[in-house]
Amino acid sequence: MIVPQNMLVARRAFHTTARAASHVGSAPITIPPSVKIEYPPLSISPDLPMASPMAQRFLRVTGPLGSQVLSLRPSVILNPPASEVPTLSVTVHNPTQKWQNSSWGKTRTLIDNAIKGVSEGYTVELRLVGVGYRASVEPIPEKFRLLQTQMPRKATRRGPGSPPYVEPPPPVDRINLKVGYSHPVLIDIPTDLSVTCSAPTKILLKGIDKQKLGLFAASIRKWRKPEPYRGKVCHACSL
């Protein structure tokens, strides 16, 4: 149906305040003295596709707790710190373009998370709430570790422009969860994460990669989702 122009109704907004941007990308990143950064080419053509060899830019952040490698999009420009001001700023070639502006704040946040991870680390605390709920960390039996080394391991599928894949060593420890099932739930612990149980109902996760730590915490919480009637749950404190 075609509506005449004089019958069109103006769209009303729910609020009258102006839309404000967060400006996360323009905020400078403070670099601690214990952190070292290996910079790729600071600026390249933003029209290069991510699969192009010339667009492969990787930023390596090294600190006292470990090292991380980040992939940078061609539209991102790095401004390394001067000798008297230890701050790193991130910009893009054309902030008015949506596809460049969307990666501006994300890249700045990923670099800031990597710097904090290798210098201070991240911690997530999981709490088990339920009758009989228990958790413990135990070593994986030798026969199971031998079977893991004999099984073929597939590399994780990665998109164009991702950092080179490094196969992690096989896990050594695992989490033994008792969360109301007739069998214990056994979860292998990645070698780059640290897991301790200060109490039978508390699990403390530590790591330098914020994303990997959050994904591992989510893989534990999925075994017991919140129950609205009895209040049984496996929940986590924020990162």
Instruction: Write the CATH number for 137.
Output: 3.90.930.12
Residue 228 falls inside a structural domain:
yes
Residue 62 falls inside a structural domain:
yes
Predicted pLDDT of residue 211: 93
Instruction: For residues 181 and 79, state if they share a domain.
Output: no
The tens-digit pLDDT sequence of the chain (239 residues) is 444 455 445 555 565 666 666 678 788 899 999 999 999 999 988 888 888 888 889 999 999 999 999 999 999 999 988 777 788 999 999 888 888 888 888 999 999 999 999 999 999 999 998 888 999 999 999 988 888 888 777 666 677 777 777 778 889 999 999 988 899 999 999 999 999 998 999 999 999 999 999 999 999 999 988 777 776 666 666 55
Q: Is 125 left (phi over 0), alpha (psi -120 to 50) or beta?
A: beta
Instruction: For residues 105 and 53, state if they share a domain.
Output: yes
- Residue 72: which of 27, 36, 110, 114 has the closest Cα? 110
Instruction: For residues 109 and 139, state if they share a domain.
Output: no
Instruction: For residues 43 and 113, state if they share a domain.
Output: yes
Instruction: For residues 194 and 231, state if they share a domain.
Output: yes
Instruction: For residues 89 and 190, state if they share a domain.
Output: no
Residue 14 falls inside a structural domain:
no
Instruction: For residues 129 and 230, state if they share a domain.
Output: yes
Q: In what order do the strands lie in the sheet with 57-63?
A: 36-38, 57-63, 66-72
Indicate if the alpha-carbon torsion angle 47, 53, 54, 60 is positive or negative. positive
Residue 163 falls inside a structural domain:
no
Q: Which structural domain, as residue segments, surrounds residue 133?
A: 123-150+169-236
Residue 164 falls inside a structural domain:
no
Residue 102 falls inside a structural domain:
yes
- The structure's pTM equals 0.83
Instruction: For residues 40 and 127, state if they share a domain.
Output: no
Per-residue pLDDT tens digits for 127-149: 998 888 999 999 999 988 888 88
- Residue 213: which of 221, 224, 225, 201 has the closest Cα? 221
Instruction: For residues 177 and 201, state if they share a domain.
Output: yes
Instruction: For residues 144 and 110, state if they share a domain.
Output: no
Predicted pLDDT of residue 193: 93
Residue 16 falls inside a structural domain:
no
Residue 99 falls inside a structural domain:
yes
Instruction: For residues 131 and 107, state if they share a domain.
Output: no
For the chain, the domain total comes to 2
Rg (CA), the chain: 23
Instruction: For residues 103 and 187, state if they share a domain.
Output: no
